[in-house]
Structure 1
């Protein structure tokens, strides 16, 4: 499988880009890799890159976007930060990826049993991590069930995963609210912004459509 070129990127639509990721994740779940020569892709991309998707995911070592979607060099922009939230630097990176570099799809990818979300559920405090966790607190507060405080912590994995899903949704809301460039591109049908959740027990990605 060759790296994407300017010509192949131009044929991609938001819907086709999403389909590529879905098919890649199915290959990953079935331990089937697309036939690609990574060193050949290094050579193919030496004069430019033409990715079709931008994926914001957690730094979790089990959730590498290139692996779970079975993509090669030059296929995706991968943004990783604990808790997969956005700030102005990440929004700027996404604007570059879509407006200047031509990607057609933004995926905000959360995952089950997320450590950063667990920290937010437990109101953990430790150095700079305290400030990071504050970014996830709105998702904790937005999940109203269970109401019993004794159940609203990292030991309740159902609650943790509900917060992870809400965090993805709020992150997408922030992209729309804080990036007029990306919001306008989506309204014009140039890109699609979508949330998804990776299951660390199965390797499956569920998209929120």
Structure 2
């Protein structure tokens, strides 16, 4: 049973590649219903005075994608930023920069998921309150998919939705690098890695893009 929280020494010893491998191994345990046993209260007590997460995950708010469980991570292991459609904005970028440049995380993981409701809404051009402006962040992915996928350009086309989910992850990664000089330089200097993947609601597997 794990009863020790990640500390600064452990965090410093990890490479971005190590952290990515750790998350993927955790996802494999999740798929196999073999999650690591954790003494959660021990970790809670050990992290009162500080935290040293190894990664930050930018994910959708979807209740079917419990990020820590999906990667089999515990208290103090990962930062998680969540917004419908897992896109970046100024607040999210600041959160990612804090995670890596200040708190020492080694990996930025943009996590999309199958049948994303926000992506479907963007595909359908939904207009509803503040949701409308939120969906504008996903429209570049919709436009790109429209040039790549045949058939209906709305949520009735499963292939169109799936491609838009993927494109949304990849374009978000591109914009993170473009908009954040801090994260771009950290990655260029091999201090961090910025990656993305899509979670399957059917299998629980995270597929790297």
TM-score by length of 2: 0.97
Deviations 1:73-102 (A, max 9, x none): 000000000000000110001000000000
Structure 1, unmatched stretches of 5+, are none
- Alpha-carbon contact 2:149-2:159 (below 8 Å) kept: no
Is the alpha carbon distance of 1:48 and 1:102 closer, same or farther for their aligned partners in structure 2, counting shifts above 3 Å? same
Deviations 1:110-150 (A, max 9, x none): 001000000000001111101111110110001113344xx
Q: Within the alignment, does 1:94 sit opposite 2:111 as a pair?
A: no
Distance 1:130 1:14 in 2: 36
Distance 1:33 1:78 in 2: 19
Structure 2, unmatched stretches of 5+, are none
Deviations 1:144-166 (A, max 9, x none): 13344xx1111111110100100
Structure 1 runs, 4 residues or longer, greater than 6 Å off: none
Structure 1 residue 207: Cα displacement: 1.0
Structure 1 residue 36: Cα displacement: 1.0
Q: Could you say which residue in structure 2 is the equivalent of 1:179?
A: 180
User: What is the RMSD computed on CA atoms of the aligned residues?
Assistant: 0.8
- Number of residue pairs matched? 206
Distance 1:134 1:73 in 2: 34
TM-score by length of 1: 0.97
